[in-house]
Amino acid sequence: MAKTEVATVKRAKHGTVLSIFMALLSLAWIAPILIVVMNSFKRKAYIFKYPFGISTAKLTDGIDKFRAGMEKMACGLLNYSNAIKKTNFFESFGYSLFITVVSVMLIVICCSMCAWYVTRVHSIGSKLLYTLFLFSMIVPFQMVMFTLSKFANILHLSTPLGIVIVYLGFGAGLSVFMFTGFIKGVSLEIEEAAMIDGCNPIQTFFLIVFPILKPTTITVAILQAMWIWNDYLLPALVLNINKFKTIPIAIQYLKQSHGQVDWGAMMAVLVLAIVPIVVFYLACQKYIIEGVMTGAVKG
C-alpha cells in the first residue's frame, strides 16, 4: 500500500512539472502574437527602437502617464485607420470570408459523402479512390503549383468562386481520411434501420449519418478554415490579384518601393487578420482533439 502511495505522489509531481514546462513552452507560440498586438499601437520609430517592450522613458507623474496613454491610443487608432485604408481591408476581408466559408462548406459536404461511399461500398473502385485521396496527401504542393496555375487560367478559375474548386481538391485528401476513420466506427445497423423506415441513401446520409459526424466535421472545418484563411501562395497563383485580393495578399501591398514598409499599419492589419480565425478556433477548439483521435484511432 505504501508503494502505491509513493508511486501516486511521484506521478503527481511529474504531472505538475510537465504542466509547468508545457505552460512555459506555450509562451514561445503566444509571445509573437503579443508582440504584434503591442507593436500595432506604436509609432514606426518605437517599433524599431523598442520592438519587445514599451518605451523606457521615465514618467514623472500621473499627468505624464495619462498623456503617454492618450498618445499611445491615438497612435494605435492611426495605425489601424491607415491599415484599413491602405489595404482596402473590408473588401479583402469580404473575399477572404467568402472563399473560406464556401470552401469549407464544400469540403465538409463533399468529403463526408465521399468518405461514406468509400467506407460502405466495398469494391475495387472505392479502394482505388481512397488510395488516390491518401496519395494526394503526400504530394508536395510545389510539384503541382505551376501546372495548377496554368490549368486554373485555362479553366477560368481565377475568381473567388473558381478558387473554391481548387481548395476543394487540395483539402479533400486529409478530410476524406478523417471522415473515413470516423465512419468506420459508426454502426451499420443504424443506417439499415433508416432504410427499412423508407429513407433513401441521400436521406440516410443527411438525416442519420451526417449528424453523427459532428466531432469530425467541426475538426475538419477548423483545420481547413485556418489553412484557407491564412493561405497566401494559392490565391497568389490562381486569383487575378488585380481585381481580387485576399487579406494575406493585401498585406503584401503595404510594402512600398525601395523596401519601405509602414510597420505600424502592418502590425495593425495583422491583428485584424488573425482576430476572426482565433475567435473561430477558440469557439470550436474542444472538438479538435476528440475529432482527430476518433478519426485516426477508429481508422
The reply to whether 65 and 197 lie within a common domain is no
pLDDT of residue 117: 92
Q: How large is the average pLDDT for residues 92-116? A: 94
Give the CATH number, domain containing residue 146. 1.10.3720.10
The reply to whether 225 and 288 lie within a common domain is yes
Q: Range of 158's domain?
A: 86-298
> Which of 83, 113, 147 corresponds to the end of one domain?
83
- Helix boundaries (H) for 40-88: 44-49, 62-87
The reply to whether 263 and 203 lie within a common domain is yes
The reply to whether 61 and 165 lie within a common domain is no
The reply to whether 49 and 134 lie within a common domain is no
> Which of 83, 110, 131 corresponds to the end of one domain?
83
d(CA 120, CA 112): 12
pLDDT of residue 140: 83
Q: What is the pLDDT of residues 189-222, one digit of tens each?
A: 888 888 888 888 889 999 889 998 888 898 899 8
Task: Inform me whether the pLDDT recorded for 271 exceeds 60.
Answer: yes
Which pTM does this prediction carry? Answer: 0.81
The reply to whether 43 and 185 lie within a common domain is no
The reply to whether 26 and 79 lie within a common domain is yes
The reply to whether 140 and 268 lie within a common domain is yes
The reply to whether 65 and 193 lie within a common domain is no
The reply to whether 8 and 118 lie within a common domain is no
The reply to whether 180 and 230 lie within a common domain is yes
Phi–psi pair at 261, nearest 5 degrees: -135, 135
d(CA 220, CA 213): 10
d(CA 215, CA 292): 8
- Find cell 509562451 and name the residue: 27
Per-residue cell: 258? 525601395
Q: What one-letter code names the amino acid at 100?
A: T
Q: How large is the average pLDDT for residues 241-247? A: 88
Q: What is the pLDDT of residues 132-190, one digit of tens each?
A: 998 888 888 888 888 888 888 888 888 999 999 999 989 999 999 999 988 888 888 88
Burial label, 290 (beta-carbon count in 10 A; 0-12, 13-18, 19+): middle
d(CA 81, CA 236): 25
> Which of 25, 56, 83 corresponds to the end of one domain?
83
Enter the DSSP assignment of 143.
Answer: G
Q: What one-letter code names the amino acid at 127?
A: K
The reply to whether 241 and 117 lie within a common domain is yes
d(CA 6, CA 27): 32
Q: Tally the domains of the chain.
A: 2
> How far from chain centre, in Å, is Cα 123?
35
Whether the CB-CB separation of 174 and 136 falls below 8 Å is answered with no
